[in-house]
């Protein structure tokens, strides 16, 4: 954004801090405004009628959440919880819309963020729809370890939420991958030790 656009938003922003696991807002609540994540990271998720969480994304600073309701006037479409201590800047919906009328390019730039998140959701639907949990877990591990073989492993519950399954299924598949020599787990770290083998699990048609 231009300096003038940043200043216009900054003048209307209010600092809000959240502790780890504290909710920024719940799905279905009326949209009050947009949150700009300055420090920390947040989890965007939906909750099924049975209480199961399905993770839609993890957003790490610098980022923003709750952009869509600014344009369609609806409620928050998902819940957002702090993964770690978060410092955010909150901009009231009416104030944000005033800035958009003054600087139309701001709306276009925010719509670019909405478009990126929509693409992520389409990829998430594909990942949760096509293939078994075993395939999808293998794909997630390969994606996490794309740059380096050793990465921090999310909790089994977080992986289950991302894959739309339950923790026990994730734990069982991780144990099988380890027994097959595809991965090595040490504490919170997972190392891909047989990338071709794990890729075969991801591509399996069984």
The strand order across the sheet containing 79-82 reads: 23-25, 79-82, 41-47, 53-60
Q: Which domain holds residue 144?
A: 131-203
pLDDT digits (tens, 9 = 90+) for 148-206: 878 888 888 888 877 777 888 889 999 999 999 999 998 888 999 999 999 988 887 54
Per-residue pLDDT band at 118 (split at 50, 70, 90): confident
pLDDT value at position 35? 93
CATH number, domain of 144, equals 1.10.10.10
Q: Contact 63/57 with Cβ under 8 angstroms? A: no
End of a domain among 97, 128, 159? Answer: 128
Same domain? For 123 and 140 the reply is: no
Of all residues in the chain, the percent with pLDDT exceeding 70 is 95
pLDDT value at position 90? 95
pLDDT value at position 177? 93
Higher pLDDT, 12 or 115: 12
């Amino acid at each position: 954004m231009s300096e003038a656009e940043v200043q216009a938003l900054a003048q209307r922003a209010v600092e809000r801090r959240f502790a780890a696991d504290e909710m920024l807002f719940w799905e279905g609540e009326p949209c009050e405004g947009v949150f700009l994540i300055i420090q920390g990271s947040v989890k965007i998720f939906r909750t099924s009628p049975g209480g199961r969480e399905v993770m839609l994304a993890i957003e790490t600073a610098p980022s923003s959440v709750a952009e869509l309701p600014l344009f369609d006037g609806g409620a928050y479409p998902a819940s957002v919880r702090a993964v770690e201590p978060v410092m955010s800047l909150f901009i009231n919906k009416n104030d944000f819309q005033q800035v958009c009328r003054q600087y139309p390019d701001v709306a276009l730039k925010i719509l670019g963020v909405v478009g990126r998140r929509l693409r992520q959701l389409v990829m998430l639907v594909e990942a949760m729809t096509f293939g078994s949990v075993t395939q999808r877990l293998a794909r997630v591990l390969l994606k996490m370890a794309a740059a380096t073989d050793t990465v921090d492993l999310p909790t089994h519950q977080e992986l289950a939420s991302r894959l739309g399954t339950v923790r026990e299924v994730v734990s069982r598949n991780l144990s099988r991958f380890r027994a097959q020599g595809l991965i090595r787990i040490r504490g919170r770290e997972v190392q891909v030790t047989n990338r071709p083998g794990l890729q075969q699990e991801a591509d399996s048609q069984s």
